[in-house]
Structure 1
Amino acid sequence: MAALPGSLPATQLQALRGEAARDPKAAVQAAARQFESLFMQELMKSMRAATPSSGLMDNGGTQLGTEMLDQQFAQQLSGLPGGLADQIARQLARQQPAATSPASSASSASSESPTATAASGTVRELPRRPGSLSREALSPAALHAGSAPQQFVAQHRAAAQAASQATGIPADFILAQAAHESGWGRREIRMPDGSSSHNVFGIKAGPGWTGKTTTVTTTEVVDGVPRKVRQTFRAYGSYAEAYTDHARLLSQSPRYARVVAEGGSAQGFARSLQKAGYATDPDYASKLGRVIDTTLRVARSLNG
């Protein structure tokens, strides 16, 4: 028997209950997405009701088809990063007891960290947790007040502007790379106690690094084959320190000389970073370019 519009099918309810028993955190995300989908269905139903009908071909069949189409639209519109589901999931997660130790937190954070490169020149590719915030550009609908992109841009804008003065690269481009590498701050590399390393650029700690470090389990891609390894990354006392160190790396390393030279355009900045081997992802430049576009839209919305 089909579920009524605005209700959750029994099979999905059973699956959700089973997921809650196996993985409470995943169940929170699934429940939030289901709620947002139902909400979107009701929203479109209200919009349909407020729209005058021609009445020429209206019948039970067309009404059922419209309801099914609205359900498909609701599913497509639900679960977008920074949307209602994310807000609900965060609220529900706060009510769950913490069950991870500092060591497990560091390991988990490493598995959610982005693609990055060390000052020594080695590159890595770290996987994303399924369902985590995409590093690619978000739709304009997701850029509402309080979304992860807006929060990230507002929080990091001053540090990016300071780094821009040191490198000549536009602040929005630097900010976009930090957003791309850290998943808008949602996949930061963690310290052993679970606190942030503030390393939003994912820079490794080479032999010449004398500052704080954190060692986490990551996935290295070597000759196209992913391998689990332990890697040591730089750690900073603040995000401002991370942006300063990133600016120093780009401006002082001969490897990134072309990045600085071509950093005046979004395409040149993204393309030269990929050519310099900042990441192993062959689509790094195009992905970063889309995040730059998103960052520019967010910055304009914040400027009013």
Structure 2
Amino acid sequence: MSINKTSDLSSRFALDAQALGDLKQGAKDGSPDALRGAAQQFEAMFINMMMKSMRDATPKDGPMDSEQTRMFTGMLDQQMSQNLAKRGVGLADVLVRQLTANKVNAQALALSGEAGAGGTMPAGLSADMLMKTPGALPAAAEADAAPAAASRSKAPHVRSFQDKLAAHADEAEKATGIPAKFMLGQAALESGWGKREIRNADGSPSHNLFGIKAGPGWKGKVVTAVTTEYVNGKAQAKVEKFRAYDSYAEGFKDYANMLASNPRYQRVLAHGGDAATFARGLQRAGYATDPQYAAKLSQIIKHSLA
């Protein structure tokens, strides 16, 4: 068995079971290059986990989204992870240095089962363990790994949105009891994480992240915008009037007060103990006409904002 065949899996198909078998055999034979190959494969799994988390944090409401496209996207991500690991992001080098210093061989990276191809962390070792166990990595590597762990849990646009608005959601929760995460989730869904926020004629923000329309009883500022409504299951573009506010704090406060005071939503708040129940209740109460509204909202609250 050649050294190159043992240590470099990046040029081979990510789901190639024989490639993993070669690496396992190299570890058993005590090949000095097997540790490098195992560390590189572990780095590929780590990258794949981050990519998967970022995919999970992205709203899945496109017309091309399906189980089949998600499967092939996952396969593509695995192959990209292999290629990125070949170039290296530093984790493999850190593992080799640390494990060599501790006299740990390639088999300590738990080259068992289907690790590597399927994205499952090897038995006895995980990315979380490396991040959380003191001394598992050198101090400099631990400092570099912390941002990577954060990125793994939340995508940048999610963190930015939450950091910007969390305080306003918390204040609204204190006043009404509606969970801040539920409000942030709905604001994210309605505004496309702030990218599709309703704007005034001069381009300034309306601070209306919830798509609240300006009915006959509304006495405040108003902005006109095109919105999508579903009639008999078919999407139609309509021009509607929406409420406008002077700040996001005012927008969150008005949204929370509307849910708390409107009889249509009283049952939602009374029985909305979890994200799925809350989302279904809003849809049944007529908050939106999109037939997939509850599923989308629940997905954002439970996964993107988790």
1:158 to 125, 142, 167: 167
Deviation, structure 1 residue 140: 6.8
Give CA deviations for 1:34-84 in whole Å, capped at 9, x if unaligned. Answer: xxx9x9775233259x699x9xxxxxxxxxxxxxxx9xx9xxxxxxxxxxx
Deviation, structure 1 residue 257: 0.6
Q: Distance in 1 between matches of 2:190 and 2:285?
A: 16
Q: Distance in 2 between matches of 1:142 and 1:216?
A: 34
User: RMSD of aligned C-alpha atoms?
Assistant: 3.3
Q: Which residue matches 2:218?
A: 209
Q: Distance in 2 between matches of 1:180 and 1:228?
A: 18
Q: Distance in 1 between matches of 2:292 and 2:237?
A: 22
2:245 to 236, 249, 260: 236
Q: Distance in 1 between matches of 2:188 and 2:236?
A: 25
Deviation, structure 1 residue 207: 0.8
Q: Distance in 2 between matches of 1:226 and 1:283?
A: 12
Structure 2 residue matching 1:154: 3-state secondary structure: helix
Q: Which residue matches 2:300?
A: 291
Q: Distance in 2 between matches of 1:141 and 1:152?
A: 16
Contact (CA 8 Å) 2:227, 2:240: kept in 1 or not? yes
Q: Distance in 1 between matches of 2:272 and 2:176?
A: 9
* 1:1-304 alignment, distance < 5 Å: 43-47=84-88, 141=152, 143-144=154-155, 147-297=156-306
Task: Summarize the Cα distance change of 1:142–1:40 in structure 2 as closer, same or farther, 3 Å threshold.
Answer: farther
Q: Give the share of equivalent positions with the same residue, in percent.
A: 51
Contact (CA 8 Å) 1:198, 1:242: kept in 2 or not? yes
Contact (CA 8 Å) 1:167, 1:260: kept in 2 or not? no
Q: Distance in 2 between matches of 1:141 and 1:46?
A: 20
Deviation, structure 1 residue 180: 1.6
Show structure 1 runs of 4+ deviating over 6 A. Answer: none
Structure 1 residue matching 2:226: 3-state secondary structure: strand
Query: Number of aligned pairs?
Result: 178
Deviation, structure 1 residue 149: 0.6
Q: Which residue matches 2:22?
A: none
Contact (CA 8 Å) 1:170, 1:264: kept in 2 or not? no
- For structure 1, the residue ranges without an aligned partner over 5 or more in a row are 6-36, 55-69, 74-138, 298-304
Q: Distance in 1 between matches of 2:180 and 2:304?
A: 10
Q: Distance in 2 between matches of 1:264 and 1:270?
A: 10
Ranked by relative contact order (alpha carbons within 8 Å, sequence separation 6 or more), the top structure is 1
Q: Which residue matches 2:140?
A: none
Task: Summarize the Cα distance change of 1:277–1:290 in structure 2 as closer, same or farther, 3 Å threshold.
Answer: same
Which amino acid in the other structure matches residue 293 of structure 2?
A: Y
Q: Distance in 2 between matches of 1:263 and 1:157?
A: 20
Give CA deviations for 1:160-191 in whole Å, capped at 9, x if unaligned. Answer: 11111222121111111111211111110111
Q: Distance in 2 between matches of 1:222 and 1:214?
A: 23
Task: Summarize the Cα distance change of 1:226–1:290 in structure 2 as closer, same or farther, 3 Å threshold.
Answer: closer
- For structure 2, the residue ranges without an aligned partner over 5 or more in a row are 1-10, 12-76, 97-105, 107-116, 120-149
